[in-house]
Amino acid sequence: MLNQSNRFYTRVVWFLGFILLLSACEGRPKGVLNKSDMTKVLVDMHKAEAVLSEKGLSYGLYSKKAPYYKYILKKYGITQAEFDSSLVWYTKHPKNFTLVYANVVEELTDFQKEIKNGKYHPVDTMSYRIIKNNVWNQRTKYVLTKDSARTHLAFLIPTQGFMYKDVYVLKFLQCIAPEDSSVRQRIVLRINYWNGKTDSVSKMAYHDSILRRYTFRFPAIRKYKIKSVSGELLSSTAYKGKLNAFVDSISLTREFDYVLQDSLRRMVEKADPKNYEVNGNPAQPLPGRRVIRPNHKILPQ
């Protein structure tokens, strides 16, 4: 019985020694996350970054994103100092970092396949009916300097079959330097109707050298015939002679349910029966504008 006990303890000692030997071979100091834990944290951080990007926060202030990252660290019982130390160590040991990121890529790839196969969300047949068309037909990048001929970035997209219940999604990157002397800069998106009415949403712009991604989602909620979508990517109430801004990656997407187009057209015709074209030429819009503020998402990034 004693010999069996000795053999058992001998095996335990050998096993512990083997584990210590592996740790020594890896050379990972105490307080640095092992490959498995580092992989889990990085996978969750990449998922969080994808969600933030979808919400338009990927280019936002770190203070807006920090709570997401802090939650991930708390989930695994890791302090910010431990994660920072681990990141520094893995950066200095590229072979180990390569192995970690190979695992990260593999897990994210599997996760993406699961999403496509409907594991996390049931198949929504309605989504297959939604058509998304980029209707932006102008330049996708503008740079404004003191030598620029323009002081505002206005745009006008004539109707391309625009319809009641459309959703217009305007996205772009914007950065304005502190040296820019424009006053009370803002961004505006409008839906213009043939009867002269206009709905709009707006957002203030900031000249602080921070690159921001803006996303406007603006639904057409009125049963009127739509003439155009317009707005300003950048405008101001006053201009003092010095511009320093750029806008990039501009897109304007029309989202609509192609199955409902005929029925929606009949609804609009019933609510707004007037023919706004005279001899084939569009009639001039009447003055008037209504600004809609609540219940429409404007996502600064």
Do 175 and 289 lie in a common domain? yes
For residues 99 and 38, give the distance between their C-alpha atoms in angstroms, rounded to a whole number: 11
**pTM above threshold 0.75:** no
Quick check: is 55 in a domain?
yes
Measure the CA angle with vertex 152, ends 151 and 155; round to 5°: 145
From 116, 141, 162, give the residue that closes a domain.
116
**234 and 245 Cβ atoms separated by less than 8 Å:** yes
From 52, 87, 116, give the residue that closes a domain.
116
Quick check: is 89 in a domain?
yes
Q: Which residue type sits at 37?
A: D
Do 167 and 293 lie in a common domain? yes
From 53, 82, 116, give the residue that closes a domain.
116
Do 161 and 295 lie in a common domain? yes
For residues 134 and 138, give the distance between their C-alpha atoms in angstroms, rounded to a whole number: 11
Do 77 and 133 lie in a common domain? no
Highest mean pLDDT among 53-57, 85-89, 267-271 belongs to 267-271
Do 156 and 206 lie in a common domain? yes
Quick check: is 4 in a domain?
no
- What does the pLDDT look like over 22-81, one tens digit per residue? 444 457 788 889 999 999 999 998 888 877 776 666 555 567 778 888 899 999 999 999
- What does the pLDDT look like over 146-194, one tens digit per residue? 777 667 899 999 999 999 999 999 999 999 888 876 888 899 999 999 9
pLDDT at residue 123 in the model: 56
Do 91 and 133 lie in a common domain? no
pLDDT at residue 145 in the model: 82
Quick check: is 92 in a domain?
yes
Question: Torsion angle of alpha carbons 125, 256, 222, 288, nearest 10°?
Answer: 160
Work out the mean pLDDT of the chain and round it to a whole number: 79
Output phi, psi for 24, to 5 deg: -65, -40
Domain count, the chain: 2
Do 38 and 160 lie in a common domain? no
Do 95 and 67 lie in a common domain? yes
For residues 251 and 172, give the distance between their C-alpha atoms in angstroms, rounded to a whole number: 7
pLDDT at residue 263 in the model: 93
Quick check: is 269 in a domain?
no
pLDDT at residue 125 in the model: 55
Region 230-245 average pLDDT = 82
Tell me the two tokens of residue 90: 């893995």
Quick check: is 73 in a domain?
yes
**108 and 49 Cβ atoms separated by less than 8 Å:** no
- What does the pLDDT look like over 96-105, one tens digit per residue? 888 888 999 9
Do 63 and 211 lie in a common domain? no
For residues 150 and 297, give the distance between their C-alpha atoms in angstroms, rounded to a whole number: 29
Quick check: is 19 in a domain?
no
Instruction: Determine what percent of the chain is predicted with pLDDT higher than 70.
Output: 73
Quick check: is 189 in a domain?
yes
Q: How many CB atoms lie within 10 A of CB 32?
A: 20
Domain that holds residue 155: 129-257+283-299
Do 287 and 147 lie in a common domain? yes
**203 and 228 Cβ atoms separated by less than 8 Å:** no
Q: Which residue type sits at 239?
A: Y
Tell me the two tokens of residue 248: 């990039």
Do 163 and 69 lie in a common domain? no
- Residue 5 pLDDT exceeds 50: no
For residues 258 and 255, give the distance between their C-alpha atoms in angstroms, rounded to a whole number: 9
Do 287 and 141 lie in a common domain? yes
CATH number at residue 167: 2.60.120
